[in-house]
Amino acid sequence: MNLIGQVITVVRKDLLLEWRGKGRLISVLLFGVVTLLLFSFAVGPDSTLLRAAAGGFLVLALLLSSTLGLSESFRVEQEQRAIEGLLLLPVDPIALYYGKTLSNTLFLMLLAPVLTPVALILYSVQLDLSGLAVLLGLWTLAAAGLSAPGTLYAAMTSRLQSQDVLLPLLLFPLVIPVLMGSVKSITLILTGDPMSQVGSWATLLASFAIIYWSLCGLLFPHAIEEGI
């Protein structure tokens, strides 16, 4: 089986397990909704301030939800040392990484249809269909930028009891460029972009997503061999 076929097999396995369980998706969705609610309560009834901060709150909900989801991405493989069985199969570790990263990206993208309407309602933001399409595209880039290093660090810390603490500490400093690009571009979509700056921030966001997907894919075989 070629590399692409191996990646597809890993993605199918993860999606099938997620479909059968659904526990991780439901818990992460509820966590994201509660996060948006808490942010709205913290700001108060000031609709102008809520609209101005809506982009940042939406990205923060994605970031916090991603750590909860990523920490579980290798939990099944680590049970009864199943990760060793995967590595003994004729499967390239790079295929395992990109399959896992693609699965995590799809998982985070599934948060958009739920968290976006909640944010638009809570923060009194009006968005037309074209703006909504651009917002979903930016969400996809942000999910890809978070999933690439998040999958690598999740694999490195999956056997540690303190994974839930170490994963955010390792991930958050690395994804600061992704967070900046996401907050700036999504805020411009939600509040208006008179100077047409969304394209520049989206390019920055896409560039770092590509860099992370490339570098983390090269580092993953070494990280997973040291971790087992």
Under 8 Å between Cβ of 23 and 68: no
Reference 77, options 62, 63, 97, 94; nearest CA is 97
Distances in whole angstroms, Cα of residue 33 to Cα of each of 39, 40, 121: 10, 11, 12
The pLDDT tens digits of the residues spanning 52-99 come to 888 899 999 999 888 888 877 777 666 656 666 666 666 778 888 999
The confidence score (pLDDT) of residue 47 equals 80
Give residue 127's pLDDT band: very low, low, confident or very high (50, 70, 90): confident
The confidence score (pLDDT) of residue 6 equals 83
Q: Mean pLDDT: which of 1-5, 19-23, 121-125, 201-205 is highest?
A: 201-205
Neighbours of 47 (CB within 10 A): 12
The pLDDT tens digits of the residues spanning 8-23 come to 888 888 888 777 777 7
Give residue 225's pLDDT band: very low, low, confident or very high (50, 70, 90): low
CA-to-CA distance for 67 and 78, rounded, in angstroms? 18
pLDDT value at 213 more than 90: yes
**pTM across the whole model:** 0.87
pLDDT value at 112 more than 80: yes
Percent of the chain beyond pLDDT 70? Answer: 91
Mean pLDDT of the chain: 85
Distances in whole angstroms, Cα of residue 25 to Cα of each of 56, 88, 113: 22, 29, 13
The confidence score (pLDDT) of residue 71 equals 79
Q: Which whole number is the average pLDDT over 137-160?
A: 89
